[in-house]
Structure 1
Amino acid sequence: MKIAVLSGKGGTGKTLVAVNIAAVAEKAVYVDCDVEEPNGYLFFTPELFDRKEVSVLIPVIDRSICTLCRKCIDFCNFNALACIANRMILFEEVCHSCGGCRIVCPVSAITEKEKVIGHIENGVSKNVIVKTGILNVGETSGIPIIRELMNENENDQRISVFDCPPGSACAVMESIRDADYCILVAEPTIFGIHNLNLVFELVKQFHKPHGVILNKCLEGENLAEQFCAENHIRILGRIPFHQEIGMMSSKGLILVRENETHRKFFVNLLNKVIEVIQNETITCP
């Protein structure tokens, strides 16, 4: 059972929700896909038991063989190759490691080498296996790390909670690829509506069952709640704008491990999601 937690921007409470859902499950895997700035481990402080580097393949050009035919340049949609002053140049930062340039080279002047772009740390925190993807500083794409996290978790039968990157770009798409359900976390402001709409449109495109957690709720008008009503989006729960929650989070405390009221809230939330997933499974042909 795979649950993805996402939001249109950072700072909405996405990690707060993901960490507490994982912590309240009997057995769970927390997967931090926000590889550019992972912070779930700050709450779990896991005892690490494994670390694995993640590499990609990048082209190596043998200029003594290269005939400067430019077929590799014409093939590359990402402009990672150029011919400057009769010399082939590779821009590693924009290479997507597709291997196409090697295939189209008519004289086999292009081979490939491994380049480490980051690593995955595996640890345990009480009932939760914590998997953290970490992108090396200066690297432009963490998608290969997210893909490796997904592959490692593919056959795990425990409840898996994917803490997605913020936004709605390619890294988020990769993070929700295998999700059975998506929880969208939103703030009750006009900007919150804009950001909620981004991820709402994304999960619709992927045909993922979804619901919304409204965070930082105050008394009175809630624009995000109105948006959900207008778009027939199920509201899974509301987290109040409360000093206690802010203080506990700032200290890296997991709410459900510290407070019974919060534990009951997230137990209820998890049960709602499980019920929807099970019903979806039953009704699918």
Structure 2
Amino acid sequence: MQVAILSGKGGAGKTLLAVNLINLMNGSVFLDCDVEEPNGVFYFSDHFVQEPIYNLVPKVNDDLCIHCHQCLDACQYNALIDFLGNVKVLPNLCHSCGACHLVCPSKAISERDELIGWINHAQVDQHHIYGGQLKIGKETGVKIIESLLEKVDSSVDSVIDCPPGNGCSVMESIGQADLCVLVAEPTVFGLNNLKMVYELTKVFNKKSAIVINKVDHNAQVIEDFASEYQIPIIGKIPFNKELALANSNLEMVSQSKFRSLFEEILHEIRKQVKL
């Protein structure tokens, strides 16, 4: 079972849910794909084995270049430009597709490794904990997320803490998921963010379910949306000071009086995956 936890913005509670689900599983894998802010891993450990991740970036040999501009025409990301008669590479725009290398008739373009980030790994009890970390200044962490997803064993339960929003990194994160759990706050703004990620799951034809976080008196705005689109609500996490303080101190709230709440959510997730 592979479960992706999504939200339309940061701070909605997806990491809270993801780490506490893992805490209740046996022999599971946690993937923190929020590579720009990978804080989920710190609930489990602060000692990691670090694996560097590289992108292939083109390198132009000016002596071999015949200035045919076939590489510029082939690049869909404008990562190659003609600057004063020489082809120059803009590495932050490069998606490492290799098209420029393939089309160059004079073999003037080779490829070099460029560090874009790391994967941090720790084994805690029976769990494997992985977190992607994007190098400061780099534009995209999709390659890191691809490398993270390669760590998944289909025979083992895994939980993916996705990046917030609905960009390319989120799309990559949910590709193999059996179920997308959408975490939403019970406000009009929260509804807008929920609609955004729900539309993404529909594009990828993924099953989805909703967990409402920070519920105090009224979650009607989310409940009405869920009813209209027939999305199951599988849990409601209360707006509770004790829970919030414990979570901010990196404590597993599923080991406290809130355990039954997260056990029920996990039970509902397993039911939805089997449907």
| Normalised-by-shorter TM-score class | over 0.9
| TM-score, reference length from structure 2 | 0.97
- Residue 278 of structure 1 and its aligned partner are, at CA, apart by 2.3
- Residue 221 of structure 1 and its aligned partner are, at CA, apart by 5.2
Superimposed CA distance per residue, residues 117-154 of structure 1 (whole angstroms, 9 cap, x where no aligned partner): 1111110233421101111000001000000011121x
Contact 2:215–2:236 (8 Å) recurs in 1? yes
Contact 1:46–1:125 (8 Å) recurs in 2? no
Structure 1 match to 2:237: 239
| TM-score, reference length from structure 1 | 0.93
Is residue 202 of structure 2 the alignment partner of residue 204 of structure 1? yes
Q: What is the percent sequence identity of the aligned residues?
A: 39
Q: Which letter does structure 1 place at the counterpart of 2:39?
A: N
The two structures, once aligned, show a CA RMSD in angstroms of 1.2
Structure 1 match to 2:34: 34
Q: Quick one: distance in 1 between partners of 2:31 and 2:76?
A: 31
Structure 2 match to 1:25: 25
SS in 2 for 1:152: coil
Contact 2:72–2:81 (8 Å) recurs in 1? yes
Taking a change above 3 Å as real, the CA distance of residues 221 and 114 of structure 1, as seen in their structure-2 partners, is closer
Give unmatched runs, 5+ long, in structure 1: 280-285
Q: Quick one: distance in 1 between partners of 2:94 and 2:86?
A: 18
Superimposed CA distance per residue, residues 166-189 of structure 1 (whole angstroms, 9 cap, x where no aligned partner): 000110010000001110000011
Q: 2:273 aligns with which of 237, 256, 277?
A: 277
Q: Which letter does structure 2 place at the counterpart of 1:67?
A: I
Taking a change above 3 Å as real, the CA distance of residues 26 and 152 of structure 1, as seen in their structure-2 partners, is closer
Q: Quick one: distance in 1 between partners of 2:69 and 2:135?
A: 31
Q: Quick one: distance in 1 between partners of 2:218 and 2:181?
A: 24
Q: Which letter does structure 2 place at the counterpart of 1:217?
A: V
SS in 2 for 1:56: strand
SS in 1 for 2:150: helix
Is residue 5 of structure 2 the alignment partner of residue 9 of structure 1? no
Counterparts of 1:70-85 in structure 2 under 5 Å?
A: 70-85=69-84
Give unmatched runs, 5+ long, in structure 2: none
Contact 2:187–2:219 (8 Å) recurs in 1? no
Structure 1 match to 2:192: 194
Aligned residues: 275
Q: Quick one: distance in 2 between partners of 1:105 and 1:53?
A: 29
Is residue 167 of structure 2 the alignment partner of residue 133 of structure 1? no
Superimposed CA distance per residue, residues 203-250 of structure 1 (whole angstroms, 9 cap, x where no aligned partner): 111111110000001113531222112221110110111101111011
Superimposed CA distance per residue, residues 47-100 of structure 1 (whole angstroms, 9 cap, x where no aligned partner): 53x321111110010001101111111111110011011111110010000000
Structure 2 match to 1:56: 55
Taking a change above 3 Å as real, the CA distance of residues 274 and 220 of structure 1, as seen in their structure-2 partners, is closer
Q: Quick one: distance in 1 between partners of 2:168 and 2:245?
A: 33
SS in 2 for 1:66: coil
Is residue 248 of structure 2 the alignment partner of residue 250 of structure 1? yes
Q: 1:268 aligns with which of 252, 264, 270?
A: 264
Contact 2:186–2:218 (8 Å) recurs in 1? no
